[in-house]
Amino acid sequence: MKALHLLVLAGVAALTACSKPEPTPPPVRAVRTVTVAPQSAGGVQEYAGEVRARTESRLGFRVGGKIVRRDADLGDSVKAGQRLAQLDPQDLRLGQEAARAALSAAQVNHDQAAADFRRFKELRDQGFISSAELERRETALKAAAAQLEQARAQSSVQGNQAAYTALTADASGVVTAVEAEPGMVIAAGTPVLRLAHDGPRDVVFSVPEDKVALIRQLAGESGRFSVTLWGDAAAPLPATIREISAAADPVTRTFLVKADVGKAAVKLGQTATVRVVLPQTAGVTKLPLTALKEEQGRSIVWLVDRDSMTVRAQPVQVAGADGNEAVITAGLQPGQVVVTAGVHVLNPGQTVKFYVEPGAAASAAASAAASAARVSIK
């Protein structure tokens, strides 16, 4: 009997050793929270830009040839009509001389045809020749006149071609790029210099696809845009939107925007920051950026149920950022409690407790002790 009792105890011990231990309940995490309250959001958006001239021309010769001289360097200020570069004019001058010779020949031919017509007209009037012969002389005179006009026009064209060997500035401005050097043989229209015209200046910046509609909406409102030059402590410059690209850049998928700063004292190529003051929107909620979590392509926050002290995920719609806070336009109701820290270590239904600052707990205990002491003294 005693042996049977020992055998039963050994079997119970073996079964107890093979059974799985009960899972440890998840720890009760202390979380920082904030209570949802309706607010208004506005904020400022900033974009990096660059100062450019309102008009910038890529200048090139209207004829081809070999560059023999360049009279302007990068950064030079030039005046309208000033020569910037020169082509070898020898071939074009020869063409001009040939055109002048052809014009002289056409002039002589026309004069001979006119004299013949006058003589044949007198002979016809005297009855020595027929009217048909006079008509042939008249036709020859008209052909000679047409050839004379053609030669005159060709001579003018050749004269212009010879003049085009000198590249001159169309307007006053600054040379911002040099794209050809003396000794190069270039075709007509090949860019040689880039000239930024004097006058108004623009700040050019790029806007992502999801913001271009807002920029178009605010473009007509005054006071929405300002420009701050990098490294310049001066006050921001007022700006107005002058142009918004109709198509996105194929590489960056952004839209080019030009902000007009007029004739402000800015330098070409300066780095600038374009500030856009957004309109105030009422009825939104602002939460710290640390309260958001991305899950399955959507933004969520953790809501705390005060009765059970558990958390659940709540999808929200984020409209943008205002400093270090996210602007929430949908998904939350006033009075709800949102977790603002440690959102990546929480699970649905997890039990939590409100985080209390150590200093705050000690102060509360001291206040309670002081109250108790006053009561005992009384």
Taking only the tens place, the pLDDT of each residue in 246-293 is 999 999 999 999 999 988 888 888 899 999 887 776 667 778 888 888
Superfamily of domain 45-54+198-277: Efflux pump adaptor protein, beta barrel domain (2.40.30.170)
Domain boundaries defined on the chain: 29-40+282-356, 45-54+198-277, 57-88+175-196, 90-163
For residue 225, the cross-strand partners are 276
The values of phi and psi at residue 150, to 5°, are -65, -45
pLDDT of the residue at 378:
40
Q: 57-88+175-196: which CATH topology?
A: OB fold (Dihydrolipoamide Acetyltransferase, E2P) (2.40.50)
pLDDT of the residue at 39:
72
pLDDT of the residue at 376:
37
What stretches of 127-224 show up as alpha helix (H) in DSSP? 131-163, 212-218
Q: Which residues of the chain have pLDDT under 70?
A: 1-26, 40-42, 233, 281-283, 322-323, 359-378
Residue pointed to by tokens 């005054």: 222
pLDDT of the residue at 236:
87
- Its CATH class, for the domain covering 29-40+282-356, is mainly beta
173: Cβ–Cβ under 8 A, 6 or more apart, which residues? 53, 77, 78, 195, 196, 197, 198
Burial (CB count within 10 angstroms: exposed 0-12, middle 13-18, buried 19+), residue 242: middle
pLDDT of the residue at 42:
63
pTM recorded for the entire structure: 0.58
Candidates 1.20.272, 1.10.10, 1.10.150, 1.10.287; CATH matching 90-163: 1.10.287
**Gap between the Cα atoms of 303 and 312, Å rounded:** 5
184: Cβ–Cβ under 8 A, 6 or more apart, which residues? 66, 67
Burial track 108-127 (b if 16+ CB lie within 10 A, e otherwise): ebbeebeeebeebeeebeee
**Gap between the Cα atoms of 157 and 165, Å rounded:** 13
